Structure 1
């Protein structure tokens, strides 16, 4: 396995200029511990002829590469693409134009939903990879030859795996399903604007009344904004539990925050801001307060309907030799039930349809009421 290491901007530009329209296998190595955004440590590329390891520590501006990924005729091949897509968008400001995820391809060809890369190399290529460098600090320099070889292998074997899986998809007539699911994954990984709905993801928010939810809504939006501004993981700004306690108890003083169990750095850095946001929410127009949250488990027919839908999904998935969780996970079924039971008719007409009622899932599952 031969590869080149690119540490100069001129060499990166020259390499990218030579890339044709062939599918491009790409992988990224990054560190993400306390930060909101992943910190890019290495980018690996293989087009079937040339294999390059690009050092973003030495070359902060990777725009020649990002322009390649955004060409309309360029297929970007990734494995388990979720985190890579988030990283690429953060670095490039855009998603790759056309993404194929080999983990999804494997799922559509009967290899399970979340098969790992090493398991795929063993199954499809009879190659066992050495994964002892998985916990490398990819921001440290210099990287050893063993670390670089480990990183290069991830794209060297990715391309032949992709080619084999694509043949299977074509043979089984599932290319369209695969393409649709890859496109949907890319859409889900696009970063969202600050969400007024973020409070709904806070644990036990359903226990709160409307005024408390108004407080939680402001606190959750502020925390997300602060996390992005400081590039700090959400819970390193203020812990989720502490946001909930602030909304539940609505403290008025720094001493109150301390008695609720907030950490001293949280109080020192953000205490006055938290108290101000709480007071603003308390004094806001009650008509603007969110409605209380309804849990699906509290609807009368939840258990029986979940059981019925799961049975239908399992029967169809087994008949199609698909992973049950790919066709419809519990989260996907919950999305459908929330749409069915919680949305008013006008919202159903104007809003986004649940995944079970669109595309290849609708094709396979048909009428979900039967």
Structure 2
């Protein structure tokens, strides 16, 4: 594994292929309180690219272009949060997208454990460490432990997606999953507009 650290933006000539795994690190889980600090990506080739963003300007045209590129599928785990952060801080709507957490909930109905650590252990045979999850991602310098953690969150998403695709097809839920993925940027926008804790589809 090689982890490439980029300050501010991705290189203009970087080609990550037609499917790129994406994750982000923030100072917390509240949209307007906690800033977006780091975005990490992988082409599924064993390497990871970590972008330490230049807050508060977020001047990263190459990263923004990639998130909005209709020819590149962005693979997330719990993409609802990352997509919302990108809408808020980068000013882009991320499409098209695939969320392994949604796919897991539709395919792995025999369990209620859909966190990335659990999904990766079962479907990719990887035991992931979450020790750096709550570290200071706004620091001026990221530690090697932080970089390794950030990389681990995207390195296995392609393998997980492939396994989930097989399960979704087997259970006849592929089209249902695609419809959910298509709606995900809208769900993120609802979060940003104040409906983050409200199910607008509920009867009450």
Same fold (TM over 0.5): yes
Over 3 Å counting, the alpha-carbon distance change for 1:336 and 1:29 in structure 2 is closer
Deviation of 1:107 after TM superposition, in Å, equals: 1.0
Residue pair 1:78, 1:99 contacting (<8 A) in 2 also:
yes
Match of 1:19 in 2: 16
Over 3 Å counting, the alpha-carbon distance change for 1:114 and 1:63 in structure 2 is farther
Distance 1:144 1:193 in 2: 31
Distance 1:29 1:14 in 2: 24
Looking at secondary structure, tell me which structure has more helix per residue. 1
Residue pair 2:67, 2:92 contacting (<8 A) in 1 also:
no
Pairwise CA RMSD of aligned residues? 2.7
Gaps of 5+ in 2: none
Q: Deviations over 1:275-333 (max 9, x none)?
A: xxxxxxxxxxxxxxxxxxxxxxxxxxxxxxxxxxxxxxxxxxxxxxxxxxxxxxxx76x
What is the TM-score normalised by the length of structure 1?
0.49
Deviation of 1:194 after TM superposition, in Å, equals: 6.9
Deviation of 1:34 after TM superposition, in Å, equals: 7.8
Match of 2:24 in 1: 28
Match of 2:62 in 1: 64
Residue pair 1:86, 1:189 contacting (<8 A) in 2 also:
yes
Q: Deviations over 1:101-125 (max 9, x none)?
A: 1001111112545611111111112
Task: Tell me how many residue pairs correspond in the alignment.
Answer: 200
Match of 1:209 in 2: none
Match of 1:177 in 2: 176
Structure of higher CA gyration radius: 1
Over 3 Å counting, the alpha-carbon distance change for 1:336 and 1:115 in structure 2 is closer
Distance 1:77 1:33 in 2: 20
Q: Deviations over 1:179-221 (max 9, x none)?
A: 11122232121158978xx8xx9xxxxxxxxxxxxxxxxxxxx
Distance 2:192 2:128 in 1: 39
Match of 1:53 in 2: 50
Higher RCO (C-alpha under 8 Å, 6+ residues apart): 2
Residue pair 2:100, 2:164 contacting (<8 A) in 1 also:
yes
Over 3 Å counting, the alpha-carbon distance change for 1:170 and 1:335 in structure 2 is closer
Q: 2:5 matched to 1:139?
A: no
Distance 1:193 1:105 in 2: 23
Looking at secondary structure, tell me which structure has more strand per residue. 2
Deviation of 1:89 after TM superposition, in Å, equals: 0.5
Picking from 107, 126, 141, the partner of 2:105 is: 107
What is the TM-score normalised by the length of structure 2?
0.85
